[in-house]
Amino acid sequence: MSENQTARSMAVDALTRVAGGAYSNLQLDKMIDRSTLNDADRRLLTNLVYGTIQHQLTLEYYLDSFVKPNQKLQPWVKMTLLVALYQMLYLDRIPNWAIFDEAIQLAKERGHEGIRRFVTGVLHAVDRQGVPDVAQISDPTQRLSVTYSMPVWLVKALQAQLGEAKTESILKTINQPAAQSVRVNTAVTTADQAIQALEAVGYQVDVSTVSGDGLRVDGQPANHSELFENGQLTIQDESAMLPVEALQVQPGDQVLDACAAPGGKTTQIAAALDPAAGGQVTALDLHAKKVKLIAQNAARLQVADRVNAMALDARKVDDEFADQTFDKILVDAPCSGIGLVRRKPEIRYDKTPEDSQHLQKIQLAILDAVSRKLKPQGLMVYSTCTILETENDAVVRQFLADHPDFEAVRVTTTRNVKGDRETATLSIYPDDFDTDGFFVSAFRRKA
């Protein structure tokens, strides 16, 4: 097999592109689709890419001990070493000689003799000396940052918000593999029927303890199953189903999904609607390409007859809709996505505190614009897939201060998640139920 077809060399290529701004999941999907790798090597490639990204700050800390200060490494050389270190330190089944052999061969084929010698020297030095002990880092915040590969600013933000113990519990969780969960499409089937069909083809299935229509499935990727293709289920995290549960959709409701792509929550809303009773969900997104994706998902899930997808900036709803048009409104707002770091591990390195502040302004602008379209006594749900207070509780407080015609109401869910909480809002952290992090709040428009 030539070097550009091996799982390890492809991982180096993928990571180099991610470092240049590509999305890891899209890059991996593209590579796997075009590759001739067998199933085992595809799994190895996925593990190497996600694992190296998840532990990148830790691996860089280790690598720095074996590289001269201020020594500039070419991106592919650095990634070759990080992938090798990840295998040495986190994967038990691969012997060091195999790791060294392929990394050194890659350096030889892609670089000059000096690069080959450098890579060889670093790897053998790590093998002889071992890596430095992160417990020796004196600053506790820096130690957590390196141990769990989370930028210092995020560690500090979570500590200020949640305390040290909860922060470390979250950090321990987010580098663990995410469970595979699906939503049963109740527009065409039942949970019992879906479970029976999944188990018949070899999946191990558990009913979600978080969401009413959620299942945890262990086995092959569920989006390769016949049930996915024929619209009986769709891929969705358990916590991501909660905003629509909080919306309390009725069959004849007129619903606005203000930030809808790719349509997971739109189709969840649609499953609760009855077009014969006049029920419809209007799904907005900025980009026409994403609107097409919403429509495609609605068609696959057999709910296209109650979905109206259109390209529109939610801040400009005045251009299309009269005030007091909708019974229910969902604002699943653009956010920093920090709750999704297990599935999109590079997010943690891409975001800054300034990003969160900027997003807060966008979130408030969307809420302000769409709130006028809600009928009196109508319900509006604001949700994000981040766990940062700046984009969550702070947004709720500011919206209520600016809109005295709205009141906060307690978020309710099918399984009464965190039913003993003191807050009206619902915050789900990755360590609570081994799901993505999510925030859900609800407002009612006064008469």
Residue positions in the annotated binding site for S-adenosyl-L-methionine? 259-265, 285, 313, 332
Does 385 participate in catalysis according to the annotation? yes
Q: For residue 419, give both structure tokens.
A: 């039913």
- Measured between alpha carbons, how far is 234 from 208 in angstroms, rounded to an integer? 14
Please provide the DSSP assignment of 173-207 as one string.
HHTSPPPPEEEE-TTT--HHHHHHHHHHTT-EEEE
Q: For residue 136, give both structure tokens.
A: 């020796």
CB atoms within 10 A of CB 177: 12
Q: For residue 328, give both structure tokens.
A: 């229910």
Positions at the binding site:
259-265, 285, 313, 332
Reference 61, options 167, 119, 145; nearest CA is: 145
Q: How far are the Cα atoms of 187, 195, 200, 427 from residue 183, in angstroms, in the given order?
A: 11, 11, 18, 20
- Measured between alpha carbons, how far is 254 from 66 in angstroms, rounded to an integer? 62
Alpha helices by DSSP H, listed for 65-210, are: 75-90, 96-110, 113-129, 140-148, 152-162, 164-174, 191-200
Determine which one of 15, 31, 330, 385 is catalytic: 385
- Measured between alpha carbons, how far is 218 from 233 in angstroms, rounded to an integer? 15
Backbone angles phi, psi at 202, to 5 degrees: 105, 0
> Alpha-carbon Rg of the chain, whole angstroms?
24
- Measured between alpha carbons, how far is 294 from 264 in angstroms, rounded to an integer? 8
Helix axes 164-174, 140-148, angle to 10 degrees: 20
- Measured between alpha carbons, how far is 163 from 158 in angstroms, rounded to an integer? 7
Name the region of 434 (left: φ>0; alpha: ψ -120 to 50; beta: rest): left
- Measured between alpha carbons, how far is 45 from 12 in angstroms, rounded to an integer? 10
Q: How far are the Cα atoms of 156, 241, 424 from residue 408, in angstroms, in the given order?
A: 29, 20, 7
- Measured between alpha carbons, how far is 303 from 301 in angstroms, rounded to an integer? 6
Helix axes 75-90, 7-19, angle to 10 degrees: 120
Active site residues: 385
